[in-house]
Amino acid sequence: MGELLCSFNEGNKQMRSLLGDKGANLSEMTGIGLPVPFGFVVTTKACNDFFDGGNVLSSQIIEEMEAKIREIEEVTGKKFGSGENPLLVSVRTSNVINIPAMAGSILNLGLNDETFKGLTKMGDMEFALDCYTRFLRTYGSIVRNIPQKSFISAYEEIKKKAEEVGENQYSEEAVLFDAIKEYKSIILKRTGRAFPENPFEQLKEAVSAILNRWNSYAVRSYRELHEIPKETGTAVVVQAMAFGNIDEKSCTGMVFTREPNTGEKVTCGRFMMKSQGGDDYFRDMKAVKIEKLEDFFPELNEKFLRMAQLLENYYKNMQEIEFTVERGKLYLLEAKAAGRTPSASVKIAVDMVDEGIVDRATSVANMRAEDVNKLVLSQFANGDEVDEETLENFNKILEWADDFRSVGIRANIDTPEDALMALNLGAEGVGLCRSEHMFFDEKRIYDFIRMIIADDEYERSKALSSMKPYQKEDFKRIFEIMEDRPVTIRLLDPSFHRFLPHTEADIKKLARKLRIPEKKLAAKILLMKEENPAMGKRGSRLAVLHPEIVMMQTEAIVEAAIEVSENTDSELNISIMVPFISSVREFMNVKDTIQKAVDSCLGSDRKKMEFAVGTMIETPRAALLSDMIAEQADFFSFGTNDLTELVYGISKEDTDNMIEEYVRKDILDKNPLYSLDKRGVGRMIEMSVMLGRKTKPKIKMGICGEHAADPDTIEFCQSIGINYFSCSTLRIPGARLAAAQAEIKSRGEK
């Protein structure tokens, strides 16, 4: 086989990136001896060559297509373009990644006025006419981009006129004859080019049209939204037709090996007698439940059910199977992992282990993190009731995932309530407690603002004294909930500027609340204004300029820890994190302040309680100096949100539209603010990890940005030695699953 075209008997399921899902599955099914109509795949490599060549099929692709058609002729005993026993083919999209806008099938390609005569000899006149009209419709809509409604309207008008003549004189054959003429006329009028009578010209046009869809506006938009690289490409399957519409012993249908809504182990689906795809609209036919297959095909039913079970066992996943019966002979046209609801997904995953079809690793690997996240959202965010069996299956899958997972999953929290929810969802600790968020409650925010606008150290100390009890009480509750699990508390990070009002009405309202003159408050806000707060007086810079804030926060942490320790046997595991540093001396300045506060609180008992002090690596300079910072820091936590913005020199708030345009113009593969940029930001993190561990081999390192729940980010960061991921509370179960899947994949590759 070559890289451009591949016959079904040359491919296999491992070649998915080259053959697409459909092509790889059909090749695999052919290889294990299942009844698959023979064919070949125009590969994703050919797709990229097609675009590199100016959206034109190269002479090499055309020559190989001719050879592959001859191969199908040899296998089937039919002849492409012949008036005697003609070979007809279907041309279908075969995506590597499912893209709805790419879906499309052209059926009965190869028909023209000459091959039509041969088709009438294979079946009857109505069968041949039905195939011809179907081909013209699918060719017209997919190859010539003519809306389906044009053909539907034409058919309805022809049928209406025929029915007006009278029931006794109505002829379906006459309607279809007229439809063929009208469809050809529509193709000519709408595109300025006549329908091609040459079958190989039809094939070249069909393959080119499907490849061109990869670069259509709809598909480009979908690729950009889902961050699918252009180079992924699409493949095209060309396959000998099996005719489910040839006689009364023929049908087409679709079957699921399990119930997709509930996950029950029952074969379900539908089929239509004497039909091809789309017959539910163009012909007065009703789909029949698959349970009735035995009534129509008693000799096939048991064989078909055995094949369905074989495919599920072979692929180790629930299957969706498309089939055709032609004159009593069964053909399988496609088998793929079936869609299912989130509740069905967890049930199937557990049941297939219990049935001995898969092991736990395969079951976990087959799950989708998005299904897990949807169940969490249903229960906690939307308040929907989730039945007991689904909850049991959900918890069992995550327990299995935890057995495979080698990295920690922690939570980003703001309040004790978040901590409790995180624990219930399986968090192993708190990777990021955003201490400033504890003041966002309306009862607390005004003390916080008084601290911000204080005129002198006395006023600020007074405000801090009011704030400290809030912090201490919240820390106590968090420590009590988390017991001996790790809790990392980030010191105050955002710029003061972000907490102050900026409109005249809001300033006036705040002045009344604080009982200070409006002009004084407005002047204070103006003095504190920052043009770029994200890179202004924030994080460690605030801590250096206002060490009294660090003292208050550290005292609240230590005093809370002492009080909780006196009432529990658990050994608390508390870390204090300095945000947004860019130098070793900056970190040491804040660390010294922290240590003074710790020593002051513990006094002579300080040896009884240890507090780790680490930092967030959020600036490129901190990443570059990681070896020196590691000499002083107990741990690193990579704040990927800020690090990404600073590496790219962009602001999330100001550049969303620009980034979308960059993705659209193929300057960026995907939005780096949502899925980690491995080549740039990822390389910087990898370098930082190596530098830090060169100095301190056992230093703990985590990820605590929004990327921490993204499966691709987890897989990459796990491979470079990250110890834990800390994400928003509701995404914890999905992160647990993704981390397990990354580990399972890593073991498989090794």
Using the predicted structure, report yes or no on whether residue 278 has a pLDDT greater than 60. Answer: no
Using the predicted structure, report yes or no on whether residue 483 has a pLDDT greater than 90. Answer: yes
Contact between 609 and 576 under an 8 Å Cβ cutoff? The reply is no
∠ CA 412-413-419, nearest 5°, is 115
Using the predicted structure, report yes or no on whether residue 170 has a pLDDT greater than 80. Answer: no
What pLDDT, on a 0 to 100 scale, did the predictor assign at position 404?
Answer: 97
**DSSP-based three-state secondary structure for 581:** coil
CA nearest to 235, candidates 23, 57, 461 = 23
Digit-coded pLDDT (tens) for 443-481: 788 888 888 888 888 888 999 999 999 999 999 999 999
The amino acid at 521: L
What pLDDT, on a 0 to 100 scale, did the predictor assign at position 748?
Answer: 80
Using the predicted structure, report yes or no on whether residue 397 has a pLDDT greater than 90. Answer: yes
Lowest average pLDDT, out of 95-104, 267-276, 282-291, goes to: 282-291
Mean pLDDT over residues 76-88, rounded? 95
Q: Are strands 288-289 and 268-273 parallel, antiparallel or unpaired?
A: antiparallel
Tokens found for residue 24 = 């790889």
What is the average pLDDT score of the chain? 92
What pLDDT, on a 0 to 100 scale, did the predictor assign at position 456?
Answer: 87
What pLDDT, on a 0 to 100 scale, did the predictor assign at position 669?
Answer: 78
Mean pLDDT over residues 98-127, rounded? 91
Digit-coded pLDDT (tens) for 487-505: 999 999 988 777 888 898 9
Digit-coded pLDDT (tens) for 364-380: 999 998 899 889 888 77
Using the predicted structure, report yes or no on whether residue 120 has a pLDDT greater than 90. Answer: yes
Digit-coded pLDDT (tens) for 203-212: 999 999 999 9
Digit-coded pLDDT (tens) for 733-743: 999 999 999 99
∠ CA 129-133-139, nearest 5°, is 145
Strand partners, 645: none
Segment holding 199, helix H or strand E: helix 199-213
What pLDDT, on a 0 to 100 scale, did the predictor assign at position 167?
Answer: 67
Using the predicted structure, report yes or no on whether residue 282 has a pLDDT greater than 50. Answer: no
Contact between 108 and 134 under an 8 Å Cβ cutoff? The reply is yes
Torsion of CA 417, 418, 419, 424, to 10 degrees: 100
Digit-coded pLDDT (tens) for 597-609: 999 998 876 557 8
What pLDDT, on a 0 to 100 scale, did the predictor assign at position 570?
Answer: 87
The DSSP secondary-structure symbol of 195 reads P
What are residue 467's phi and psi, to 5 degrees? -80, -35
Digit-coded pLDDT (tens) for 7-34: 999 999 999 999 999 999 999 999 999 9
The DSSP secondary-structure symbol of 54 reads T
The DSSP secondary-structure symbol of 316 reads T
Contact between 471 and 489 under an 8 Å Cβ cutoff? The reply is no
- Which residue in this structure is represented by tokens 């060549």? 53
Contact between 741 and 716 under an 8 Å Cβ cutoff? The reply is no
CA nearest to 698, candidates 725, 721, 726 = 721
Contact between 185 and 151 under an 8 Å Cβ cutoff? The reply is no
For the chain, what's the residue count? 750
Q: Which domains does the chain have, with CATH numbers?
A: 5-241 (3.30.1490.20), 242-340 (3.30.470.20), 346-378 (no CATH), 405-495+530-745 (3.20.20.60), 496-529 (no CATH)
DSSP 92-111: EEEESS--GGG--EEEEET-
Mean pLDDT over residues 546-575, rounded? 94
What pLDDT, on a 0 to 100 scale, did the predictor assign at position 643?
Answer: 96
What end-to-end distance do the CA atoms of the chain give, in Å?
Answer: 28
What pLDDT, on a 0 to 100 scale, did the predictor assign at position 673?
Answer: 87
Confidence (pTM): 0.85
